[in-house]
Structure 1
Amino acid sequence: MISESNMLNVTIDGAKQSASTFHHQGSISIEPELLKQVEVQAGAGDALSGAGALGGAINFTTKDPEDLLKEDERFGALIKGSYNTNASAYKTSLSLYGKINNHWSAMATVVQTESDNYEDGNGNEIAYTEYEQQNGLVKVVGRFDNNQRVGISFDHRIDDGEKLLRPNWALAGNNPSVEMEAHRTTSKLEYSIAPENNQWLALDTNAYYTENNITRVDDDAEGKISTYGVDIRNSNHFSDGSITYGLDYRRDKSSYQSTSEDARDEKGDVYGIYLQAEFQLAQALLLNLGSRYDIYKTTDADQQKFESKGFSPNVSVLFSPNDDLQLELGFAQAMRGVEVRESYLIYTGGYTNAADLKEERAENLSFSIDYNLAGVGLSANVYYATIDDVITYGEWGETNYTEFNNDGELVNKGVTLGVSYNWSALQASVAYNHSVSELNGEPIGGYYDTDLGISTGDHVNTSISYQFSDSLEFGWSGQFVARLTDTHDDVLEKAGYGVHDLYGQWQPLKNDSLKLTLTVSNLFDKQYRDQSTFGPTIYGAAGDMAPGRDMRIGLAWAL
C-alpha cells in the first residue's frame, strides 16, 4: 500500500506542510540537493510526530552552512550539473556558503531544472510531462555560548508550465491540458539552547509559515493552502532516561477564488500538548511511552463548525540482550479531527462536509527484530494498523459522491523482511514487502478512494555496490513487483514488472572536491506502469506509463 501525503504529517525543517490544493496532484515536493536527512515513521507513532499523524510522519531536514564547509574553510561554493538522455533534461545548482564571523554563518542555494516530455519503454512520447522548475534556499545560522542556536531560513519553489488537468491521469478527452503555476514558500525561525551541565534545560522552539498555491491560468482560478504554527519543547535528561514535553499550535487556511465566483475559504486551528519519556529499565530493556492531547476547531466553506479533542497515547519496549540483537514491540494511537479540505473542492456547488462529520482515530501495532552478525544483517517487521471513521467521499450511487463522510474502517497489515551483507568493499541487500490495505473489506485504490492510498503487489528490492578504490564505486539495484490480482471492483489487475538500474561514481581528486556520476535507470527499457500510480480502471482512466531507459551524467565540484 502507498499512503497519500494527506494521511501523513510532513514537515520541512519542522514546518508543517498541510492539506492539498487538489487531490489529483501532490502538494509535497523537496529539492534533493538541499537535503541533509529524511526521517520516516511508518504508522501512528510517538507524541513528537505532531497532531494527527494517522499514517505516520516524514520529516525533511535541509542542510546548514556548516554541513557544506570543510573543517578549515571559511567560505566555499558547490556547483552541480546533470543531464538526462530520455527527456533531454538538465539540472544545475549553485550553493554559496561561509562564516560571516565566529558566531554567524550563511548559505544560499539556487536550482534550475528543465525537461522535455519523456518516452516510455516502447519509445512513445508521454505528452505534457515536460517541466521547468526553480528552487531557492537561503539560511542564516548563529551559534553562541551554552549551545545556543538561532536559525532563519526561507525556501521557495516554482513549477510552472502546461500540464494535464489531472496530472496523475494520462491524456484523454476528459483530461485536457491547462496552463498551471505552482508555487510553494516556507519560512522558519528557530531558537534552541542546551547548556552542557544543565540536565533540566534543552529548549527547542520554532515558528513557521508555509504557503502552497496552484493557479490555473486558463480558468483564472487559484487554490491556496497556507499554514502558520509554533512548536515549543523542552527536554530533561537523567542517568537512566529523558522526558520531552511541549506544546504546539497550527492554523490552516484553504481558499479558492476565480473570476467567475466569489472567493471561499476554510479555517482550522489545532492546539496540542505532549509528553514523551524514555526510561532505561535495565541494561537490556528500554521503555518509551508518551501521549498527546489535541483540540481541533474547524469552520468549513459552508460555515459549518466542527470541534474534536482527545488523547493519542503510545508505548514501546526495546529489548537488546546483546549488541547484535534488538527486539521491539510498539503500540500507538492517533486522533485527527476534521481539517480544512483541499482548495479545488470548496468552490460554490462543489464538495461539502456531512453535518455529523467526526474525528478519525488510528491504531498501530508493530513488532520488529534486527539481528547483525559478522557483517550479515537480518530484519523483520510485522504490523497491523487501522483507521476508524476514516474520512473520504463515497462511491457514485452508494452515497452522495460530493459529500465527505466517515466511511468506515481502513485496515493496513503486512510484513517486511530484509537481509543485508557488508564485507569490506562489498555491500548487498534484499528487502521484501507484503501489505494488504482494505476499506471496509475492499482493497483500496479504486476510482473513488485514491485519496486514501494505492494497493500494490508484493515488492522485492535488491542492491549491490562495490568500492573498487577510495575514488571509484559501482552498483546495481533492482525492483521487482508481483502482479496485483486482488483489486478494487473498478480497478483492473495490475501487471507485475522488474526494473534494473546501474550507477557509477568517480572522485578523481584526492580532496574529493570533484565527483562524477553515471546512472542508467530502467536498463532494459522495460515498458510498465508503476503500480503506485493511478489505475487502470474499468472506466478507461489510467496513469501514464513509466519512463523507459534513461542515462544521467552528473558532476559536482566543490570550490
Structure 2
Amino acid sequence: MPAQSQEEGVADVVHLDEITVIEARTEQRWSEALAGVSVVSSEELRLLQPTDSADLFFGVPGVAASQDANRTASSINIRGLQDFGRVAVILDGARNNFQRNDHGNQSPVWVEPEMLQEVTVVRGPVSNIYGSGAIGGVVAFETKDAADFLKEGERAAASLKARYETNGEGIVLSGVAAARLTDKVDVIGNIVWRDFGDYTDGRGDTVDNSSFDVLAGLAKVSFRPADFHEIELGWVGNSEDWEEPGSGQYRTDFTQNTYTAQWVFDDPALPLVDLHVSGFVNQTEISQSSGVDALGYDQATGLPVLIPAGNRRGFELVTTGFDVYNASRFSTGTLDHAVTVGGDWFRDDVDTFDDLGGGDLYNPGGERTAYGAYVQDRIEYADWLQLIAAVRYDGFSLEGDNVDTDGDRFSPRLTVGVKPFEGTALRGLQPYVTYAEGYRAPTVNETLIEGLHPSGVVFPFLPNPGLRPETSKMFEAGVNFERDDVFVPGDGVRAKLSWFNNDVDDYIDLEELPPAAFGGDPDCPYLVGLPPIWVPGGYYVPACYRYTNVSEARIRGVELELAYDAGWVFGAGSLAVLHGENSTDGSDLISVPPTVATGRLGFRALDRRLTFGGEVEHVADAERNGTSVDAHTLVNLFASYEPNDRLRFDVRLNNLFGEAYVNYFNAVAGGGAGVQEEGFNAKLAITMRFGADGSTHNGLGLN
C-alpha cells in the first residue's frame, strides 16, 4: 500500500521515496533509515544502462567496485572493507560467498544487471540481522518478479531489449515474459545474452583479454495458496567465459546457479505475526584450462617446471542456507514496537583441483558453517523519537586438513534518532547516533591456505589454524533531511550526512614472515635448495606469507548523499571521504578507496516522456603503501525517450572526453600497475513492450 499511495503524488514520479526493508527488516523510506542506506531504483537502473555490476553504484557514497580479467565480476568495497565476506552480498535472499586466492578480486560477485529490479546498500555493521560477517555492510540485489513487471489489469506481458555499445562492439539482448496465470499464481522469466570484444582505453589502446560472453536467465513462480500466504520459488543462472591473463593464459568457463524458496505469512488482522521463511542453494564453479605452455614451480621441490598447455584447474563453492524471522507490532502505553526475532544458518563447501599448477593448495578445500540468532526492537514515540535496540549471537565452525576450529560471540546495536524540529524552520531534520558491533568468522581460504606460489617467484604460503574472527565496533553520527515543497510546490529534497568510526579488532591481513633461519617465524622454512637468485622463469624469495590477525584496524570517514526532484528538473550528489590505518604500526590500509564526489543534473519534457541530463564523477588521487593513482574526472550524458507505453529509446555516453585513468583497486591488485579503464563508450538501446489483458472474448487484449 505505501508504494501504491505514492503513485498519486509527486514522490513516486520523482523517485525520492523508495521503500526498503533491508536495514531493519521493517518498511521505511531510504532517507529516513537511521543508517547509511542507499537504494538504486529501477528508474536509476534504466538511466545507468549498466554493462556490469560495477556500473550499478554511481553516486552511492562509500561504495567502490573493482574488476580484474573478467569485467562482469566485481569485488564490492564498503567503507574500506571488502573480500572474504566482510560485505554480505545477497541475491534474492541467497548469500554469494565465493572466494578465490589469486591476483585480482578475492571475492568476485557475478550479477546480471538486466535482471535486477532494485539494489539496496547498507553501510556498516548495523544490518547484522543478515548473518555473520557483514562488518562492512550489506548489498542486496533483488531481481524482477511478475508483480514488478505486470501493469495493473494485465494478465500477461513481454518485453524485448537490444543494446549496442561502441567500445568493444558490445551487444546485449534481453527478453522478459510474465503472466498472471490465475489470481493465485504468477510466473516470470528473463534471458540475457551479452557478447563483448576487447575495449579501448582513454589513450586509444586496446586492452587485451577484456572480452567476454554472458548467457544468463531467471525464472520465478509465486503461489498464493490461501489468504495472506505467499510462496515464491526462484532460479537465477549465469554462464560466462573469458580468457584470464597471466603466464598460462587460462581459458575460463564460469557457471553459477542460485535456487531460492520463500514463504511469507502476513495477515493484517494478526499484528504479532509477519513470518518469513526462506532457504537457498548457491552453486558457483570456475573451470580453467591453460592455453599456452608456462613456467611454474614444482609444489614439492620448488624447482622450475614446465606446466604444459591444457593444464586444468577448478574452483567450486556450494553455499546452502536458510533464514527465518518474524516481526511483531504492538504498543505499550505511548510506545509503538516492531520486534523482530530471527535466526539463520549457512554452510560453505569448498572443492578445488589443479592438475599441475598448485592452485588447489593456495585455494584449499574445506567446510565452514556459520549460524546465528537475533532479536531487535524498533521503538517509536510520538513521531519524534525512534530507538532501535538489537543483539545478535553468532557462531561458526571450520574443518579441513587436520584443522577444526570454532568460535562465537554476542554483538549489540543501539540507535537513537529524534525529530525535534517539526513545526519550526528546521523541520525535516532527523539527527541520529548509532553504536553497533559485528563479527566475521575466518574463511576456509584464509585459514587453510598452504603451498608454494605457483609462478613468477616462489615462496611458501602458510596455514593459520589459530586465526581469530574479526570484531568491528562502529560509532556513527548522522542526520537525515526530508522536506517537500521547498522551492516550488510539489518538489522534494532528501539528504543524508554521516560521520563514522569503525574499529576492527583482530583484522585479518596477509603478512610477510622472514624464515626461522634468519631469526624470523619458526614456522617459516628456508628452502636451502633454492638460493635467492634468479632462476629460469623467476626466483626464490626467502620469506613466507600467512593470513594473520592485526591487532586493530581503524576506518573513519564522512559520507553525504542528496537528491532533489521537481518533476521537470532533478538532481543528485554524493561525497565520500575515508581514511584507514593499521593501528599497530600506523600504516595506511590499502583497502580504503580514494575520495569520490559525484553529481547529476537531469530534465524531463514532453509530458515526462523525454528525460535527459549529465553526470560528473571526480576521484581524487591516492597513495597507499606504495600504490598510487592519479586523480581523474569523468563526464557522462544520458537521454531516454518513450513515445508511448510500448517503446523506449535509451542513449548513454560514458567517459565523454575519453579520460585515461586507472581504478585504484585494480592498481592494488596489480601491485601498483593497474589496467587502464574503458575510454569513451556510447550505449544505444531500444526496448519494446507488449501487454495483454482480459478485455477480449478470448481473454487476451493487446495493450
Q: Same-fold call, TM > 0.5?
A: yes
Deviations 1:26-73 (A, max 9, x none): 521211111122121111113422112111111111111121111111
Deviations 1:158-185 (A, max 9, x none): 11122224xxxxxxxxx55211111111
Change (3 A) 1:431 1:459: same
- 1:85-234 aligned within 5 A: 85-165=166-246, 175-218=247-290, 219-234=311-326
C-alpha displacement of 1:105: 1.1
Match of 1:244 in 2: 340
Report which stretch shifted further, 139-148 or 54-63. Answer: 139-148
Match of 1:448 in 2: none
Is 1:30 matched with 2:175?
no
Match of 1:326 in 2: 430
Report which stretch shifted further, 27-36 or 333-342. Answer: 333-342
CA contact (8 A) 1:21 1:214 kept: no
Match of 2:613 among 475, 500, 513: 475
1:437 maps to a residue whose letter is: G
1:13 maps to a residue whose letter is: D
Report which stretch shifted further, 116-125 or 275-284. Answer: 275-284
* In 2: Cα distance, 1:271 partner to 1:199 partner: 28
1:98 maps to a residue whose letter is: A
Is 1:364 matched with 2:474?
yes
Report which stretch shifted further, 220-229 or 143-152. Answer: 143-152
1:380 maps to a residue whose letter is: L
* In 2: Cα distance, 1:19 partner to 1:457 partner: 26
Match of 1:311 in 2: 410
CA contact (8 A) 2:481 2:495 kept: yes
Match of 2:46 in 1: none
C-alpha displacement of 1:271: 2.0
Match of 1:39 among 101, 112, 120: 120
Report which stretch shifted further, 500-509 or 175-184. Answer: 175-184
Report which stretch shifted further, 281-290 or 14-23. Answer: 14-23
Please list every run of 5 or more consecutive structure 1 residues that lacks an aligned counterpart in the other structure: 166-174, 446-452
Change (3 A) 1:369 1:313: same
Is 1:259 matched with 2:359?
no
1:391 maps to a residue whose letter is: I
Match of 1:171 in 2: none
Deviations 1:117-146 (A, max 9, x none): 000011100000000011110111112433
Match of 2:374 among 271, 274, 278: 274
1:392 maps to a residue whose letter is: D
What is the alpha-carbon root mean square deviation over aligned residues?
2.2
Match of 1:513 in 2: 646
C-alpha displacement of 1:333: 0.3
CA contact (8 A) 1:92 1:113 kept: yes
Change (3 A) 1:347 1:249: farther
Match of 1:291 in 2: 391
1:481 maps to a residue whose letter is: V
Is 1:500 matched with 2:614?
no
C-alpha displacement of 1:345: 4.8
2:372 maps to a residue whose letter is: G
C-alpha displacement of 1:153: 0.6
Deviations 1:73-111 (A, max 9, x none): 111111111000011001001111102222111111110
Q: Give the secondary-structure state (helix, strand or coil) at the position aligned to 1:96.
A: strand
Match of 2:100 in 1: 21
**Structure with a larger share of its residues in helix:** 2
CA contact (8 A) 2:448 2:464 kept: no
CA contact (8 A) 1:506 1:517 kept: yes
2:413 maps to a residue whose letter is: N
Larger Rg: 2
Q: Give the secondary-structure state (helix, strand or coil) at the position aligned to 1:362.
A: strand
Match of 2:682 in 1: 551
Deviations 1:347-406 (A, max 9, x none): 689744323211110111111112244144443210111211112220364876432211
- 1:417-496 aligned within 5 A: 417-440=560-583, 441-445=586-590, 453=591, 455-469=592-606, 470-485=608-623, 487-488=624-625, 490-491=626-627, 493-496=628-631
* In 1: Cα distance, 2:204 partner to 2:631 partner: 20
Is 1:9 matched with 2:82?
no
Count of residues paired in the alignment: 534
* In 1: Cα distance, 2:276 partner to 2:110 partner: 26
CA contact (8 A) 1:206 1:231 kept: yes
2:263 maps to a residue whose letter is: Y
CA contact (8 A) 1:296 1:338 kept: no
* In 2: Cα distance, 1:388 partner to 1:473 partner: 48
Deviations 1:171-228 (A, max 9, x none): xxxx552111111111011111111211222110011000112111223111111100
Q: Give the secondary-structure state (helix, strand or coil) at the position aligned to 1:358.
A: coil
Match of 2:38 in 1: none
CA contact (8 A) 1:110 1:135 kept: yes
Change (3 A) 1:344 1:157: farther
Match of 2:538 in 1: none
- 1:337-352 aligned within 5 A: 337-341=441-445, 345=449, 351-352=461-462
Change (3 A) 1:366 1:507: same
1:555 maps to a residue whose letter is: I
1:17 maps to a residue whose letter is: N
2:130 maps to a residue whose letter is: S
